[in-house]
Each structure stands twice: as C-alpha cells, then as structure tokens.
Structure 1
Amino acid sequence: MDRSSRAVFPSYRAVFRRWLACAVLLCGVAQASVPGLARAAIAPEVDVTLQAAFWVDATGQATVDEVVSLPATALQPMEHYRAFRLDGAALWLRVEPPSLDPGHRWYLMLSAAAFANRATLHTLGPDGQWQKQEAGDRLPVSQWDHPDQTPVFALAPQAGAPVWLRLENRPASLSPRLLLMTEERLLEMRSWTFLMVGGYLGFGLLVLFLAWVHARLYADRAFVAYCAYVICMLGFQASFTGIGGLFFWPDHARWNDAAPALFMLWLTASGIWFVREVCAVSRYHQRVDRFVLVWSLFGLVFPALYLWLQNQAVFVVLNLYGLLSVLLSFGLCVWTWRLGEKYAGWMAIGFLPVHLSYPFPALRSAGWLPDGWATQYAVLIGSAIEIPLLLYILHRRAKEFNENRARLRAIESTDPLTGLTVVPVLTLRLRDALRRARRYGHRCGLVLVDLANHADIVSREGREAGDRALVVAASRLSAVVRDVDTVCRIAEARFVVLVEGPLADDELKRLAQHIVARGLERIPALPADVALRFRLVSMALPDDTMAGVDDDHLVTHMGAALDRMVSDPRKVVQHLSPATNSPQPEEGSVELPAAQKWAK
C-alpha cells in the first residue's frame, strides 16, 4: 500500500484509540450527570459481620438494657462466619458501625430471608432511649419498619453508639450475615434481585403453560406430574428468596414462615412422582413402584406434622427426606435406564443442575455452611437450567410415543408393506363413491392393476427385491392419482385404484396408459434391466350392464377379465365397456410395445 492509500484509510490502532477516548468521555459524562451512581460506586456495601460481638440468651427473655449492662467478658467476638442453633434462645449481636457519611442514608441488611423468625434492631435515639425496628418471618412483611425481601434496618449517620441486633429462629440454624450499605446501593441490589427473580418466575410460568398444553395434547400423566413439580419449584423460590412475602402474601406471617419448608417438601414429593411416571417404574418392579409411591405421599402429608411440632427432630427428618430423595430419584433414573428405559437416562442428566445445587441451601439450613450468594441462589440458577431441559426431554418422549401409537393405529387401516389402504376401507369408499355417482348422475372409475413380472423379479433377484418392487409400484400408483382417490393392495401383486368422480369417458383410458408408462421407468433400487410391467383392467362406474352384480363382487369380475389377459401377453390394458354384457377387450386396447413407445 502506498502513502496515498495510508492517508485515505487510517490504521486500526488509530481508530481504536479514538473509539476508546470517546467511550471514556461518555462514561465520564454519565458519571458526572448521575452523582448518586458515582457515590454508590465509591461507597459499596460493607460486610460488618466479623466486626460484631455476640451473646446467646438461653432464656430468650433478656431486654436490651440487660444485655447492654452485661460485662465485656460475656460477649464473644465473631471471628468467623458461623451458624447458631437457637431453639428458643435469642442471639444478640453488638455492632459498632464505622463513621458514616452524613450525605447518605445508611441501612443494615440481614441476608437470608428464609432463616430469621424475628429480627429486632435497637438503636440509641437522641433522647437517650432505645428505639427498635422489627422484621422477620413471624411478623407480616407489611408491618416491617422497612418492608423488603430480607430484614433491612435504617441507621442514623450521626449516631456513634453501637447498635444491638436481636435474632430468633427455629428449628433451622441461623447464620447471620450483616451488610452495611447506602440507600443507592440498597436500591441497586433490590433492582437486580427483582429483575433476576422476576425473570425466573415469568420464565417458569411460560414453561408451566407449555407443559399444560402438552399435557392436554398428548394426554400423558408425566406432564401433569411435571406441572406439579414446576409449581412447587416456583413457590419454593418465591418463598426462599423473600419475594413471596414481599409481593404475594405480605399480610400472612405464619404462612411466610412455613412456606419455604412446605414448598421444599411438596417439591421433593412431586419430583419423585414425576420420576416414577417418566421412568415407568411399575413396568419393571411392582414393589419398588409401591415404595416410590409411598415415599412421594409421605412428602405430601409430612408438612402437617412439621407445622404441628416444629422441633429439631422433624427438622432432621425434613433434611433427610430431601437428601435421600435426591439419591432416590437419581438411582431410579439410572436403574430404569439400564433396564431399557431410554428417556430415564436423559432424565438423570436433566435433574443434574438441581441435584448439584441442592447441597448448598441444605447444608446452609443444617448450619454447616454460612449464608452467602451461593446458598441463596444456587437452586434458583440450577432450576432455571433444569426446568426447560426437562420439558424438552418430555416433549421428545411424548412425540416418540405418540408416533408409535399412530403407527399402531395405522396398521389397522394400512398395508404394513406398502402403506396403502386395506381392503375394508376400500370397500367402504367404493360404496360411498357409487352412492354419490348415482345420486348426482356422474361416473367414477375402478382400475385393477397387476404387477405381471413380480414372480420373475422374485425368482431372479430374491424376495427382498420383490418386496422392494411392490413398494415402488405402490408409490408410483399413488403418484399418478389425486389425493381424493384410493389405492389399495388386494393381493400379493395386485392393486385396485378407485378414481373419484365426476369422470369423463376418456380420462380413465389416459390414466391407464399413464400407469403402464410409469411402471416402465427406471428403478434405482433394482438392476437397470428390471422394470415394473403393469397389466390392468379399468371400468367406469356405475355400469348398467353390471346392475345384477353386488358392489363387493365388482373387483372379482374385473379380476376374472384380468386373468384372461394372461393368454395374450401383448395385451396390457383392457377397458370394460358398458355396451357389452361380458368383459371383452376393447378395440383400442393398448399393447405392450405401444406402451413402451409411449413411455419413451
């Protein structure tokens, strides 16, 4: 490239430098025009959990004044994230906020919405009196001081005194995580959470609608079980993330407290039922099928006992039921897959995203993992992958089963080898065609076609080649007629073509010539010197000369005429004329050499 071309076309580096400078300039303008976003980027949330000190009130009756007056040695530093099993006790956290910018509104967030029965923040007011803000599952979200998906408390920037947070929860362990953030950062986190969970719920409802459409279309119980599974999964995610308490049941505290556990049990029970239906366990072992059915029913009725007792024993049973159900569902899928259930293996793969993400919230509720982003949203992300994947597997399964059922139904009305109509269907259509022809005064046609050289093809090329010749013959006969006409195989190498009316006198003759010519065309699946040599008899109906012949015996009479043509191999087409009382060859019958010439 010469210098002139370099001057006209700038280098890629120069273009990239200019684009980067414009992008930086636009970012600077946007940051300057939205000062709130700039300050939010400078002041993100701060995790103050490990800066707190804690004390466990075994009685759960201590007041804030009594806790404040405790000696310093009674409080223990929160050196690491840990879980507390309270069971009637109360956890007190002493938090000393750092110096806060008075230009912002500050909030203290307690994460893990599904694991806090009651949370009360005590702050010292300007008058020296303790002021409290309350939240938690035992209090309706509409009555929280700051309604949100998780407990949130306002902090005064000018207050330099420590704040005291009192927490209660049973029977699950409590793993507190405290985040200090500005109002801008809180709104940003809330917007992203609403976007993610709202998109998930909307996508889940769409999948649920498609599943119900499939259930109505295929009449398959597996889709009904899948719908129940998806409904329970959506309910579990709405309650577990706190979206349900904020939007769907803000005035029902007891339901908000129990919903995560109940939906978890129903989700597990419906999942086992779903696996039972898809894997067809009853087909392989009756006792295993009854055990799986009882296991699923246990998950439906156990919530009543859980709500009644709500102690550590039923909570252990709940966790064991969920863990063992994961192993049971995966084991059933692999077991039935090895026994020949093809889609059971795909089901095992489809369940993997939730099976791999389930341990995070399970270990969190058991107190073995601290609260975090993974424990809160792992199952949500896994189910977002699993739900459409399972629907696709179900769709492929139902489609294949429906095609098999359609083939079984088609066997009753079609010829297994050629796919043509069977004789009973031809008889019904022939009667209807004759009835319409007599009523409206027009004619229909009946053509009896014989594959004359079928025996020669079998003896020369074998039975497989003979069957292939029959299939090709059926295909070519179907190609020369209309969709409303009927082609039927009535014997091993003999076919009947019913031509619906109204039909002109010479149309049947042209059709006969066309059939002979199509048979002489080259067949790619057979040797080059092998052709289909058709011999046929045609008749326009209704025929007054055949008035004494029953409709069922028309084909028999035409077959007799076709058999008499064997004596004269040069005759390949015979049209039975209504002018004669006996079937005789018409004067213009087509002979074999003429048919070959016409085909060329």
Structure 2
Amino acid sequence: MRGCLIVIRWLAALAVLACGLASAQPRLPVVVLPSEHGVLPLDGLVQFWEEPGREYKVEEIVAEAASLPWATRPPGKQHRLDGKALWLRFDVDMRDSKPWYVTLSSSGIDRVQLFRRAADGRWVALEAGDSVPVSRWPVPGRLPTFELANTGAPMTYYVRVEHDRVDFGAELTLYSQAELLAAREREQLLMGAYFGIAALLAVVALANAALYRDRNFLAYAVYLIIFTLGQVAYLGIGAQHLWDRWLDWNASSTFLLPGLSAVAALWFVQVVTEPARFSRVLNLVVWALILALLVAVLFDTWTPSRPIFVARLMLTSAALVVVSALIGLVWQRGDQPDIRLIALGFVPVMVMALFPLARGFGLIPNSIFTRYGLAIGAAVEMPILFYAMTLRGSRRREAQARASALPKSDALTGLADLRTLMPRLEDVLARARSQKHACALLGVRLANHDVITAEYGRETLDRALVVAASHLRRAASDMDMAARVGERDFALVLEGPTTPDVATSRAQQLVASGLRQAQALPNGLTLKLQVVIAMLPAGPPDAESILQWVAETLSAFPPDSRKQIRALNT
C-alpha cells in the first residue's frame, strides 16, 4: 500500500512538471553583441504578442509573460493594430564596450516605447514616434532609434507599438554606433541630393511659368512641390527638420501630403495630355476623379479611419489606371513631337507607386520599395520630365517667336527679309568704316531651283528653300545675319572684323552642306548652292548698291557651272 502511494506521488509530480513544461513559452536565443557584423536584423529573433486593448503596463506583461501566447515574429510579418498594442521582446547579451542601437525601419509610427530594467530593478521607458517631438526622442533622427543598455549581463527588452489605419510591418535591426553613423551619413547625402535637385527644378519650373506664362510649367512646378512635400512627410524628414514641435500636423501630414501629391499628379497629367482633345467625356471623368480624390484625402485627414483610408487608396488606384490610359492615349495618338517623351517620364513613378499602394492594401510586406519606391521613381522621372517639358516649351516659344517676327521675316524660311537686312547692312558698313576693319556679304543662290520645281513640284521646292535656310543659320554666328532676298536668293552678312579666308570658309561650308542628303528631301535630291563673296567696306558705297552688285554677279553664274564660289574683290 505504501509503495502504491509513492508511485502515485511520483506520477502526480511528473504530471505537474509536464503541464508546466507544456505551458512554458519557448524563449529565443540570446543575441550576443558584438556580432560578426555591425548590422544585425532581428528577423526570427523577436517574439510578439498583440494585446487586444491598450491597457497593459510593462510590469503586468512581465508578470504574466509565461501565460501569454508569444510567437516568433517571422520576416515580413504584418500586424493590424487598430485599437491594439503590439508587444515585442528580445534578449541581448551586451559585451561590447561601444554603444549599440535598435532601430525600427519605418517613419510615421504613431507611438513606440522601449522598456528595459534599470540597476535598481525599475523599468525604464523610452518613447519615440509621432507622439513625441523628434528632438525629444532618445536618439533623434528620421527613424525611431533606442540605445541598448550596457550592463554586462543578458537583458530582456520589451517594445510596445501603437499604430492605426495602416498595418505595421517595420523590421527591428541592431546597429553598432559606427554603422548607425555611417548609415545616417549615406542617408543624408542621398536625400539631400534628391530634395536639393527637386527644389532646384521646382524653382526653375516656376521661373519658366512666370517668364513665359507657360501653364504646363506651372502645373509641373505645383506637382513637383506637392510631391516633394509628400515625400518629406512620408519619409520623416519633415518631422525631423521642418515641423518638429507640431505634433498634430506631423501626425496628419504623413497622410495628407502624400494624398495631395496624388491629386497634383493627376491634375498635372490632365494639363499635359489635354484629354479634351480626344474626348470630352474622358476629360470630365478625369476632373471628377480629381475632385473625388481631393475630397477623400481631406475627409481622411479630418475624420481618420481605416475604411476611409482604404477608400482613398481605391481612388488613388483608379487615378493610376486613368493616368495609364491617358499616357497610352497620347502615346498612340499624340501629334506633338515631345508628348511621347513626357509620357515616358511618368512611367517610373507609376511603376514604383504600385509598391506603396499594395502595402497600403496589406498585399505585400514592408520593404525598401514600399518605403522608398516613390522617391526612387521620382529621381528617375524628374530629369526626363523636365527635359521633355523644356523641349516642349522651347518649340512653343519658337513658334510664338516666329509668329511675332513675321512682319520682319520671311514667312517660309523664318530668315530676315530684305527690309530687315538693309538697315542691318548699313550699320555693319558704318561700323566697319569707323573702326577700320573688314566685314563681308555672302550672296547665296539655289542654282537648281528650276530643276526642283520641274521634277518634284512646288511643295518639294519649298522644302528645299527651308533646308537651304537651315544651312545659312548653321553657317551664321551670333553676330551675323542670314536673310532671304529673292525667290531663290539668300544673303549672309558676316559682322567684322573678318578676313577673306573666313568668308571663303563659310562659303565652302554652305556649298558642302547643300550637297549632303537632307532627310526632308527626296532621295537623290541635293541642293546646288552658288556663293558670291564681297569683302566690305570696299566696293559700292551703300547697302543697296552692294546688294545689287552681288545679285548681278549671282545672275551671271551659269546654273551648271562647276565652280560654285566666286570672290568679287579678294
């Protein structure tokens, strides 16, 4: 009987021990510092528990730790924390004499607290996130960062996170002091360059908009400014450097400014692509989407909630689809020479915008592309768009300049006309006589004018005259003037001081350029240019007589002459 009681007691003890082992939570390995590297991600080395409410204190968590359902946090784990608190714990054995830090990889977190035991057994709380100005963080910076205690013994750290509306997925990483400083220096260099270029382009775009009254540049400047401010808020630069003490604005700007940048981007695309040219209904759809997205962004700022935020993301996704449709439309039907380059400029941001959108919907985990994708896309987009906008603006201004210059220029070639040339030639002669230096007048004739008309028609002749005018422009320097003085005749005034060798070189350049095949002309058709050189102020006394002298010499040129250049007085 006594032996049976002993056996029963042993079985009961074993049962209690088995129950205790079954209920005990497996602990993760202790992280020993220093490690082999100065950067140590804590993926798989952190346990988590999602508290249904936000009432537990760290002392209660520690007291009930054995009974709480802790689980190992795998890489890419997402947490929906609306009204909840996320508790994380990890163990570190600090054996390094130099400081180590733990960093959360995302900015804009509502509230982050790190708890560690002090030497007297009390729990010390360190806090960062949007609930505290960055200047009062334990380690001020763009990302929540905490310094680990160097006690010479293993220590358990607890991290408490509050974050509403967007799933929390930030990774925890340990940094040595040297690696943390190096990472921040690289970050400051890259972001300083990025935001500096963005600010410079915005200023230049505003200047172009004001100087040339260019609506496209104005829309681009507004889009670039708002988009850059959105990135400043989203990446935590604003909270760190611009609005450190404005906690309410800091909390709302993370959602407001990126949302407004989506509105500005859609408006900019609408201005550049001009959908009304293709469909009035499409243009109304774009304007309706702009208004709806703006309302959703403002509503999400005033009454923040996850459903409104999701609705805003859905409208942003619709805007992305509309932008893609507009770009495809102008790519297919665009009749402007630079519109395809502008459409190409939008592609990097459109592709990279998919990552934060998918992250907002909870489809993909937090990553470098969800955090920095838009900034990377914008870095590629900005120079392409600015170059394309500059080309487009230059072409439009050139057309406007030609239109305004029509009373003083030839309508077909854009060169100066005879009325403009005569006073300029008089001024050149007067300066040459007063300063006792030489200048020159080159008379240029399209010798195969009649042949082109007979074989190819008037339209090809007009093209040939335009090509000849382009050759004269290339042969003229900034001080010279090229003009059309007759149906087939041109003139090039070479401002002094010049020499016969320079004038002959320009004449040879004109003849050679005319003999090259031009893309605007039919295959096999080249221009036969004959040139007469008059060195001035020698010869007739006035501009009219000089021009008549050169014209008579050109008329004496046989059209089939093998000699294409004739000097009158050199």
TM > 0.5? yes
Q: Is the 8 A contact 2:169 2:365 kept in 1?
A: yes
Q: Is the 8 A contact 1:420 1:474 kept in 2?
A: yes
Q: Is the 8 A contact 1:51 1:77 kept in 2?
A: no
Q: Which residue of 1 aligns with 2:124?
A: 131
Distance 1:244 1:522, change over 3 A: farther
Q: Which residue of 2 aligns with 1:178?
A: 172
Q: Let me know the Cα RMSD of the aligned residues.
A: 4.3
Q: Which residue of 1 aligns with 2:357?
A: 362
Q: Which residue of 2 aligns with 1:145?
A: 138
Q: Which residue of 1 aligns with 2:317?
A: 323
Q: Aligned-pair distance for 1:103?
A: 0.7
Q: Is the 8 A contact 1:110 1:150 kept in 2?
A: yes
Q: Aligned-pair distance for 1:62?
A: 1.3
Distance 1:308 1:506, change over 3 A: closer
Distance 1:283 1:469, change over 3 A: closer
Q: Is the 8 A contact 2:415 2:482 kept in 1?
A: no
Is the partner of 2:95 in helix, strand or coil?
coil
Q: Percent identity?
A: 28
Q: Aligned-pair distance for 1:181?
A: 2.0
Q: Aligned-pair distance for 1:503?
A: 12
**TM-score, normalised via structure 2 length:** 0.71
Aligned positions of 1:550-589 closer than 5 A: none
Number of residues paired by the alignment? 471
Match of 1:338 among 332, 338, 343: 332
Aligned positions of 1:402-417 closer than 5 A: 402-411=397-406, 413-417=408-412
What is the alpha-carbon distance in structure 2 between the residues aligned to residue 405 and residue 484 of structure 1?
A: 20
Q: Aligned-pair distance for 1:171?
A: 0.8
Match of 2:63 among 65, 69, 77: 69
1:96 matched to 2:91? The reply is yes
Amino acid at match of 1:372: S
Q: Is the 8 A contact 1:517 1:599 kept in 2?
A: no
What is the alpha-carbon distance in structure 2 between the residues aligned to residue 89 and residue 377 of structure 1?
A: 27
Is the partner of 1:51 in helix, strand or coil?
coil
What is the alpha-carbon distance in structure 2 between the residues aligned to residue 47 and residue 472 of structure 1?
A: 65
Q: Which residue of 2 aligns with 1:534?
A: none
What is the alpha-carbon distance in structure 1 between the residues aligned to residue 188 and residue 283 of structure 2?
A: 41
Q: Is the 8 A contact 1:232 1:266 kept in 2?
A: yes
Q: Which residue of 2 aligns with 1:519?
A: 555
Q: Which residue of 2 aligns with 1:372?
A: 367
1:204 matched to 2:198? The reply is yes
What is the alpha-carbon distance in structure 2 between the residues aligned to residue 455 and residue 349 of structure 1?
A: 42
Q: Which residue of 1 aligns with 2:288?
A: 294
Is the partner of 1:165 in helix, strand or coil?
strand
What is the alpha-carbon distance in structure 2 between the residues aligned to residue 51 and residue 476 of structure 1?
A: 73
**TM-score, normalised via structure 1 length:** 0.68
Q: Which residue of 2 aligns with 1:219?
A: 213
Is the partner of 2:369 in helix, strand or coil?
helix
Q: Which residue of 2 aligns with 1:52?
A: 46
Q: Is the 8 A contact 1:239 1:260 kept in 2?
A: yes
Distance 1:477 1:43, change over 3 A: closer
What is the alpha-carbon distance in structure 1 between the residues aligned to residue 370 and residue 296 of structure 2?
A: 24
Amino acid at match of 2:557: E
What is the alpha-carbon distance in structure 1 between the residues aligned to residue 35 and residue 554 of structure 2?
A: 80
Distance 1:522 1:119, change over 3 A: farther
Distance 1:485 1:163, change over 3 A: closer
Is the partner of 1:123 in helix, strand or coil?
strand
Aligned positions of 1:482-501 closer than 5 A: none
Q: Is the 8 A contact 2:234 2:258 kept in 1?
A: no
Q: Is the 8 A contact 1:175 1:370 kept in 2?
A: yes
Q: Which residue of 2 aligns with 1:35?
A: none
Q: Which residue of 2 aligns with 1:109?
A: 103
Distance 1:224 1:519, change over 3 A: same
Is the partner of 2:217 in helix, strand or coil?
helix
1:191 matched to 2:191? The reply is no
Q: Is the 8 A contact 2:34 2:95 kept in 1?
A: no
1:249 matched to 2:246? The reply is no
Distance 1:58 1:422, change over 3 A: same
What is the alpha-carbon distance in structure 2 between the residues aligned to residue 119 and residue 376 of structure 1?
A: 18
Is the partner of 2:82 in helix, strand or coil?
coil
Aligned positions of 1:265-304 closer than 5 A: 265-304=259-298
1:122 matched to 2:158? The reply is no
What are the Cα deviations for residues 511-560 of structure 1, in whole angstroms up to 9, with x where unaligned?
Answer: 5333211232355xxx55999xxxxxxxxxxxxxxxxxxxxxxxxxxxxx
Q: Is the 8 A contact 2:296 2:308 kept in 1?
A: no
Is the partner of 2:139 in helix, strand or coil?
coil
Unaligned stretches of 5+ in structure 2? Answer: 1-32, 428-444, 492-536
Q: Is the 8 A contact 1:229 1:267 kept in 2?
A: yes
Unaligned stretches of 5+ in structure 1? Answer: 1-38, 434-450, 497-501, 532-595
What is the alpha-carbon distance in structure 2 between the residues aligned to residue 473 and residue 239 of structure 1?
A: 56
Q: Is the 8 A contact 1:360 1:374 kept in 2?
A: yes
Q: Which residue of 2 aligns with 1:542?
A: none
What is the alpha-carbon distance in structure 1 between the residues aligned to residue 332 and residue 274 of structure 2?
A: 13
